[in-house]
Amino acid sequence: MLHYFANPTRFQRLSRRIEPWLLVAMILCFAFGLYFALFSSPVDYQQGHTVRIMYIHVPAAWMALFCYTAMAVAAAVAMIWKHALADVAAKATAPIGAVFTFLALVTGSLWGKPMWGTWWVWDARLTSVLVLFFLYLGYMALRDAFDEPGRGARASAILVLVGFVNVPIIKFSVDWWNTLHQPSSVLRMDGPTIHPDMLTPLFLMAAAFQLYYFWLVLVRIRRELMANRTRALRHRQAAA
């Protein structure tokens, strides 16, 4: 399957078919999710309307971890099997993951101010998410630090794989250390503990963010493949 889609022409043809459907599904999920989040979901008895920040913050945090995991898997595939498309996918994912991580940090700060009385605290969860943001930035900077693209790809892939240890730290930080963050109330073995009417907008927004990622990463991969093809043609013309 991986080798089947390694053909750029085949991949671009398939992605052009999928992208419009992903975009429509994303818009629908976002529209319904935003409506339920703002007008249908209940007000929290302690947090009031501030709890509505959750519908952006939590999906953004989930996507920050998902994007890094996807990037690490793609980097590993590229290193082990020399799969060119996997390397392009890792490169395309990095800025998307960085934006989701930044969004999680900003919305978390906005949520934390009225709840904790401060914009920022150096607890385990916040610090590890900030490290994740710097890992995204470091990956993008390291790729561009080499004149030879292959060396930049290998060096950045190693950084991603080493930095993956931070993902379980983020996930389990609230269990391993005392933090201001509460333990997971949605993804639990014994079921969610939050109000059922809050789950619908939360999952709709999460689906919208996930669909947005798939749509945008396909667009970015196609553009990167076209840019690579253009560079290859220029090199051939220069060598001729």
**pLDDT tens figures, 34-52:** 999 999 999 988 888 999 9
Give bridge partners of residue 44 from the DSSP assignment. Answer: 48
* Amino acid 2: pLDDT: 56
Determine the Cα–Cα distance for residues 93 and 114; give it in Å rounded to an integer: 33
Split at pLDDT 50, 70, 90, the class of 24 is: very high
Split at pLDDT 50, 70, 90, the class of 230 is: confident
* Amino acid 188: pLDDT: 61
* Amino acid 189: pLDDT: 57
**pLDDT tens figures, 147-173:** 888 999 999 999 999 999 999 999 998
Q: What is the mean pLDDT of the chain?
A: 91
**1 has pLDDT over 60:** no
**pLDDT tens figures, 107-134:** 999 999 998 899 999 999 999 999 999 9
Split at pLDDT 50, 70, 90, the class of 239 is: confident
- The structural domains of the chain, with segments of one domain joined by +, span 56-183+194-234
**88 has pLDDT over 90:** yes
* Amino acid 76: pLDDT: 97
Instruction: Answer with the residue of higher pLDDT: 7 or 71.
Output: 71
